[in-house]
């Protein structure tokens, strides 16, 4: 089947004010925007492959509605929101060896805070020397830090070989999004281990979202200190001249990027089984700790190691990849929400959004289960189940694939504009109606085999895609589903065993 466009969620609602600590905190460091050729060169060095920063763009369909044409766009999913916090949740661990103290005139020029540029330069030199170590590497790090600059978009300008916090040596760029960039670093305080460092833009709304993610990651580390529950592990965080930075374990490609690089060749069912089991295990851990991820999708599920074996398909005349290890980690907790927190009206990226979210009926943990059902289907067939950008069309696809929307949900929703006389207001004779009819079919018709384990898989997907959240399968129940029985009989020495040490 051809592929369609993808779009990310563009709707987020405000979450109120953030913790008083950050509401009153003044960021003193401000620096010039670089319009030099260095920023242009830096932009040209951007890579297409991402770490866990890839999302799918929200864009308009072209008039011809070309089916299954995919577009990709880097984006941070939580833009303009904040949350109420009751207590401060982190303290600064590392301190800068100096800081800029500039104020900006309305015309864009900079004034000296206390005296002339010359005296300020001398003060900086003295300050830099007082904090530098005896090694030449530390002195080099301090010299570089004095010239910290951002580009026009707020990204930190850096070069391979730069050091951050006299600890992280940048060795390559892993990916980029509107929130910032992810770089591969050598962590010299962890024995030279390789880590992924997420460098957030020096833009307040992205910094705010990063603080929320740090809070969730710290809770995860607290509840799972041995990293047994397959959520990405945060090693460290710090504020680098206005850029929130988060250090993570270094992982491989996302399950979506691997699929895309493999020409959307579906994963074999035994790999689907193991990946689905791990996702259920990781998200159940979140649910058990009163968290809802709210943005589950293949981009946010990463392989621990995405090395693969290559075979040549004579029939299709192309190389095909098979990942060697299906051990995964769930990432991107910038949208994760605790049960006691304010719940935004709209959550999840479009294709994985549950019906209760579309109909604004309120959501809890079952919305994650719906997303997992969509993800598992995508692993099995190679394309998304609901390939649309429009709410009404999305609901029409659901009815085409899963059957009529329950009348109780129709009566209860505030979105009555989508319905007429208790039924979805949808004309199948329009171009949109023909698009849905031609590209969607009842769920079981997507089966590629009549083997028992394939039917077990679709039985699991059906139970995850139950309209009513209260009737939807829980992840504790899902882990006991017959589809996963084979995993309990397979040897624990398989190459996809995720218990190995992944530090490198």
Catalytic residues, which ones?
295
**In angstroms, what CA-CA distances link 13 with 5, 31, 60, 324?**
25, 31, 21, 41
Question: Residue 234: which of 198, 285, 284, 275 has the closest Cα?
Answer: 198
Chain mean position to CA 277: 20
DSSP-derived pairing of the beta strands 168-177 and 163-164: antiparallel
- What backbone phi and psi angles, to 5 degrees, belong to 13? -110, 160
Distance CA 179, CA 202 (A): 9
198 is in an annotated binding site: yes
Question: Residue 370: which of 267, 229, 468, 266 has the closest Cα?
Answer: 468
Q: Quick check: 178 and 73 in contact, CB under 8 A?
A: no
H or E stretch at 131: helix 117-131
Q: Is 474 exposed, middle or buried (0-12, 13-18, 19+ CB in 10 A)?
A: middle
DSSP-derived pairing of the beta strands 337-338 and 423-424: unpaired
- What secondary structure does DSSP assign to 239-289, as a single string? EETTEEEEEEE----BHHHHHHHTTTPPPPHHHHHHHHHHHHHHHHHHHHT
DSSP state of 104: E
The residues with which 111 forms a beta bridge, in sequence order, are: 103
Torsion of CA 174, 175, 176, 177, to 10 degrees: -130
Torsion of CA 337, 342, 348, 350, to 10 degrees: 180
Q: Which tokens is 208 given?
A: 């705010």
Binding-site entries for ATP:
198
């Amino acid at each position: 089947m051809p592929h369609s466009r993808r779009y990310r969620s563009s709707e987020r609602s405000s979450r109120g004010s953030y913790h008083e600590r950050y509401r009153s905190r003044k960021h003193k460091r401000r620096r010039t925007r670089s319009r030099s050729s260095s920023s242009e060169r830096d932009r040209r060095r951007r890579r297409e492959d991402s770490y866990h920063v890839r999302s799918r763009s929200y864009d308009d369909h072209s008039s011809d509605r070309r089916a299954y044409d995919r577009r990709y766009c880097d984006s941070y999913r939580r833009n303009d929101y904040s949350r109420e916090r009751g207590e401060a949740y982190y303290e600064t661990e590392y301190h800068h060896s100096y800081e800029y103290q500039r104020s900006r005139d309305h015309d864009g020029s900079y004034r000296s805070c206390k005296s002339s540029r010359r005296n300020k330069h001398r003060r900086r030199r003295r300050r830099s020397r007082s904090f530098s170590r005896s090694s030449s590497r530390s002195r080099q790090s301090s010299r570089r830090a004095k010239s910290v600059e951002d580009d026009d978009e707020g990204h930190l300008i850096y070069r391979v070989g730069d050091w951050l916090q006299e600890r992280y040596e940048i060795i390559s760029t892993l990916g980029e999004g509107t929130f910032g960039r992810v770089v591969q670093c050598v962590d010299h305080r962890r024995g030279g281990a390789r880590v992924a460092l997420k460098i957030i833009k020096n833009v307040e709304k992205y910094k705010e979202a990063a603080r929320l993610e740090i809070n969730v990651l710290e809770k995860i580390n607290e509840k799972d200190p041995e990293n047994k529950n397959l959520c990405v592990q945060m090693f460290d965080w710090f504020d680098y001249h206005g850029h929130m930075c988060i250090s993570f374990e270094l992982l491989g490609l996302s399950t979506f990027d691997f699929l895309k690089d493999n020409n959307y060749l579906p994963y074999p069912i035994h790999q689907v089984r193991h990946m689905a089991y791990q996702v259920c295990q990781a998200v159940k851990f979140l649910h058990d700790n009163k968290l809802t991820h709210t943005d589950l999708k293949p981009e946010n599920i990463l392989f621990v190691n995405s090395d693969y074996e290559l075979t040549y398909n004579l029939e299709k005349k192309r190389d095909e990849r098979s990942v060697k290890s299906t051990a995964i980690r769930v990432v991107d907790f910038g949208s994760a929400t605790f049960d006691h927190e304010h719940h935004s009206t709209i959550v999840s990226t479009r294709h994985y959004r549950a019906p209760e979210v579309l109909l604004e009926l309120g959501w809890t943990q079952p919305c994650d289960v719906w997303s997992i059902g969509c993800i598992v289907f995508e692993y099995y067939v190679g394309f998304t189940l609901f390939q649309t950008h429009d709410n009404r069309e999305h609901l029409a696809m659901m009815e085409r694939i899963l059957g009529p929307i329950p009348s109780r949900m129709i009566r209860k929703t505030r979105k009555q504009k989508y319905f007429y006389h208790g039924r979805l207001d949808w004309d199948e004779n329009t171009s949109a109606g023909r698009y849905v009819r031609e590209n969607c079919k009842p769920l079981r018709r997507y089966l590629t085999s009549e083997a028992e384990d394939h039917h077990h898989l679709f039985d699991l997907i059906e139970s995850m895609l139950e309209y009513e959240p209260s009737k939807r399968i829980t992840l504790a129940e899902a882990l006991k589903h017959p589809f996963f029985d084979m995993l309990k009989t397979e040897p624990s020495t398989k190459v996809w065993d995720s218990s190995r040490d992944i530090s490198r």
